[in-house]
Structure 1
Amino acid sequence: MAEQKQDDGTKYVAIRCVGGELPGATLAQKVGPHGVQAKVLGEEIKKATAEYKSLKVNVQIAIKDRKATLEVTPNSSTYILKALREPPRDRKKEKNITHHGNITMVDVVDVARKIQHKSNSKEFSGTIKQVLGTCVSIGCRVDGKSPKEVIREINDGSLKVPSK
């Protein structure tokens, strides 16, 4: 939860919350000193993140003259979990779940295109490998194969990936 200040008086606050739910008490601690009502802002965040129900997303809040604007910025794991099309689960009952689903290489390329602006990779294939590494952490498979196998195939040149 970082806080930054710009020259034009705009202050930025970043929080990580669960989509479709009200953020925790830390929201009031972060935005209260800037003159923004946390309860109203919490409802706005709940509406803005409804698309990512039960998935963790990052929300960037820009505060200027006691007015807040929101920008929802999901990370690659959120995009992958959304591509798995699993039903929303109760976070309080199920902990440390591994996702045994299967996504296609087309989904991996789509996720890589969405996160490319945040990636430090020089080439697009590096961003694809980054997404495949996240698939390893989540526990899902890509086209029925282990994501590590797909990374080996990309490195060997037996699997061609788009250049952009």
Structure 2
Amino acid sequence: KVSVVPSAGALVIKALKEPPRDRKKEKNIKHTGNITMDDIISIARIMKPRSCARDLRGVCKEMLGTAQSVGCTVDRKHPRDVCKQIDSGEVDCPVA
């Protein structure tokens, strides 16, 4: 049985609730939106089997990197800042 999981970028854009755009007509689209940390954690749970990270915290950080490349913010903050807050322990991210 084969299961298809969309890419991390597609899941982040889906969480932004933006309408799908025609990729052939528009290039280098920046999505200016905001998603919550709960959205990032739920996307990380979906992507965990495909990730090389050891725990969910690592997968969350991967998804924050994807959110940064898509161009959106997480809880009204830059994804890189949220990643640093996870490292310092300010933002609680589940391990499993």
CA RMSD of superposed structures (Å):
1.4
The CA deviation string for residues 121-153 of structure 1, in whole angstroms up to 9 with x for no partner, is 112100100000111111110010000000000
- Higher relative strand content: 1
Alignment partner of 1:159 is 2:75: no
Report the Cα offset of residue 73 of structure 1: 2.5
Alignment partner of 1:82 is 2:9: no
TM-score by length of 2: 0.92
Greater RCO (Cα-Cα under 8 Å, separation 6 or more): 2
Aligned amino acid, residue 116 of structure 1:
K
Structure number with greater Rg is 1
How far apart, CA to CA, are the structure 2 residues paired with 1:156 and 1:91? Answer: 38
Alignment partner of 1:96 is 2:25: no
Aligned amino acid, residue 142 of structure 1:
V
Equivalent residue, structure 1, for 2:48: 116
Match of 1:142 among 51, 60, 74: 74
2:4 is paired with a residue whose SS is strand
Equivalent residue, structure 2, for 1:107: 39
Unaligned runs of 5+ in 1: 1-68
How far apart, CA to CA, are the structure 2 residues paired with 1:88 and 1:119? Answer: 25
| Distance verdict in 2 for CA 1:157–1:86, change over 3 Å | same
Alignment partner of 1:72 is 2:72: no
Alignment partner of 1:128 is 2:34: no
TM-score by length of 1: 0.55
Unaligned runs of 5+ in 2: none
Percent of matched pairs sharing the same residue: 45
Pairs aligned (count) = 96
